[in-house]
């Protein structure tokens, strides 16, 4: 196994654990902004594949250990992947935020509706039922992630940390 791949696996596990702990102990009703905070960080440092894996692990831990619904997974993985994809393409921090908010706030919210109807018996309402809950949560967390990453960038640590993970 390549050394950089091992570093990315370890960093993914650390971020997933941080996402789980932050989402568990800093509780906001119907919101998980720290999941989105971690998603933006993972997108920038790890890219779309590992960001997706990180969000999946965090969501599964929240479901298994906390009894969260399937929204814990669906509400995170699409945004994490799109965030990583857009950041990889444009190499600008703001694109990681945009990817997270669109991916989670809109796409995941729409994707979640049929799952919630099927598995949890959600009554027939609008396919946009979860958008008002997902957008503020993803925006709040993504902006927090942006602030941290921008601070790291200004202090010249962002590129050093990224190159450490790639070597």
How many CA atoms lie less than 13 Å away from 69 in the CB half-sphere? Answer: 16
Q: Which residues contact 126 (CB under 8 A, 6 or more apart)?
A: 113
| Token pair of 81 as six digits | 């992947």
Look at residues 110, 112, 57 and name the one whose alpha carbon lies nearest to residue 80: 57
Q: What is the CATH number of the domain that holds 97?
A: 1.10.1760.20
pLDDT in tens, 103-152: 999 999 999 999 999 988 888 888 899 999 999 999 999 999 999 999 99
Per-residue pLDDT at 30 exceeds 80 = no
Per-residue pLDDT at 13 exceeds 60 = yes
d(CA 136, CA 61): 23
- Looking at the DSSP bridge assignments, the partners of residue 31 are 28
Q: What is the rounded average pLDDT of the residues 22-48?
A: 89
Q: Burial code of 86-110, b = ≥16 C-beta within 10 A, e = fewer?
A: bbbeeeebebbbbbbbbbbbbbbbb
Number of domains in the chain: 1
pLDDT in tens, 63-74: 999 988 899 899
Check residues 166 and 51 and name the one with the higher pLDDT. 51
- Looking at the DSSP bridge assignments, the partners of residue 28 are 31
Rounded to the nearest 10 degrees, how much is the dihedral formed by the CA atoms of 122, 127, 131, 132?
-70
pLDDT at 24: 85
Q: Which domain holds residue 53?
A: 3-23+32-166
pLDDT at 12: 97
- Tell if the pTM clears 0.75, that is, is over it: yes
pLDDT at 4: 61
């Amino acid at each position: 196994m390549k050394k950089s791949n091992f570093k990315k696996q370890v960093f993914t596990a650390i971020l997933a654990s941080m996402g789980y702990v932050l989402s568990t102990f800093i509780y906001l009703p119907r919101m998980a902004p720290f999941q989105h905070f971690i998603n933006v960080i993972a997108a920038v440092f790890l890219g779309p594949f590992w960001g997706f894996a990180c969000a999946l692990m965090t969501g599964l831990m929240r479901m298994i250990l906390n009894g969260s619904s399937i929204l814990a997974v669906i509400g995170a993985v699409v945004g994490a992947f799109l965030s990583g994809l857009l950041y990889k393409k444009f190499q600008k921090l703001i694109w990681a935020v945009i990817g997270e908010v669109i991916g989670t706030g809109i796409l995941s919210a729409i994707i979640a509706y049929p799952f919630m109807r099927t598995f949890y018996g959600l009554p027939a309402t609008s396919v946009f039922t979860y958008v008002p809950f997902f957008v503020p949560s993803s925006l709040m967390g993504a902006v927090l992630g942006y602030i941290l990453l921008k601070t790291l960038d200004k202090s010249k640590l962002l590129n050093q940390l990224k190159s450490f993970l790639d070597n």
